[in-house]
Structure 1
């Protein structure tokens, strides 16, 4: 099989022609070349048209641009390699005609400044577009090539590799700037790109800061609204507690007045002088005295008993809460199982009972208001089956539940 490439024995690079081998030798000082049947890859990017000579080069192009689709045209361009260096045409008359004819048919890619080409490829331009821009801008500078691309980006052949006759004077394609001027121009372009990147980063940071401020304000406003709602809720609870306290005191006052009037009647004393009280008071008292007030009185006594218990042990909320829950358990067991004798009998000397309820002033009194009575020498609290009153037990359960759940019970 005929050789289709030259392979560098020092680094393994495949080269398409003798000219490329010479350039490789000048750049790397490698001199060990041999013919090879391996073809130089020709992977063309489907997106931008950039040709890649190897898998490594295509991977680098993908990493830099994000383009992943390549067309393999290696076999289309593969042909036996010529080991002869092209010679200049003879000046003879006969030879001039033949050389002119052959060179007019041979078109080659124009030579451009390789450093500028690498710079443009690093900026994301395809090899064909970068070569065309450098060729038609006279290899003047990187900025001139970029300006040419901007002006001709809508050309249909913008991504086609330019071709020129082989006898074109290559000197015309060399950059007109000195190396120092070219280096300064490249530095200027890099500085512009750096400043543009910094400005973009600053703008992005400003946007992020604005977003952080906006989110912070929203969180503060949400917290303020939550605190305001909590404050209103607490005020409403305190108001309800005060109203409950006022109604309870009013009922107790009315009951005291009724008891006082009843005692005066039993003693045969005349009614209290109406000049010391409101004119409407006797009528109201007379009406209330005719109503069955016994259940309401017991409920109020239960509430007052619980309030007194909490006031006496206000420095130990855990003990008060445990006592309320224990009382609720005793009352609930009897209400749920009125026929079970074990729930209607409590040993007063039981240590657990003493720690939770018995030793607390008001605990045993509350159970007696529910219907329990001391029996058997005062050792037990017993509620006989015929003394089980579901209305009283339910009222006691409601009062205990309110005392447990209401954080302001007995405080105001």
Structure 2
């Protein structure tokens, strides 16, 4: 057997510190030539070994003589402690630097979340203002239609009691306000908010299963879209509650059936179906439901802020 190969530079540094070559060679060999500190730690841990000052893996023909007793001096202990302190200090500095980087990342993520929440709230506020404005306009048009109808009734009564019909004609030519039918139905803010809160509740109750929540929103959007596009088709307005696909995607999730009820669906006697009567199909409500579902699908922070 031959003397093991060790790092010559670290061997020289150990000898310069006062360690005998056999002890230094053994320490470097058994510490895997990892570092000077590792070699010194090995010497400290094996100071009392009987063969500490014997050259490792020496053949039996080679006599290295009886080494003189070696004592681990106080200076060596101090040097070893300094090396350990330096290694520990370096590790602590690296950990502090890493923690600072992590803290910066957390602060940045927090700022982004706050900004997203602020933007979402601002958009929500603007949308509610638009809804309220639309409702006020619709109420104003409805009042004007009523006033115009009352005036026409009054003129008709005058004709019935013998007043000149010319006055009626004149009045009919210039009605107080003539309002056209509003082709765009105004959706109720209150119902929209209830739908939105229902979807938020569904998301919060199943926040650990994003894929299933998204599937539920997509399925609800399909139900609503089918009715809106085919209001006269009963098959799109009738859902069997025991249907396995419906149960898995919507019925078993908290808030799924409640959302459909807000869209106008009713539970039939015997609780076998969810049914939307033809005379209760409200396009404004269905459009509102579709809008809320699309918002829930496209907004990554929906229901989490």
Tell me the TM-score normalised to structure 2 length: 0.45
More helix by share: 2
Q: Which has the higher contact order (CA 8 A, sep 6+)?
A: 2
Q: Which has the larger radius of gyration?
A: 1
More strand by share: 1
Tell me the TM-score normalised to structure 1 length: 0.35
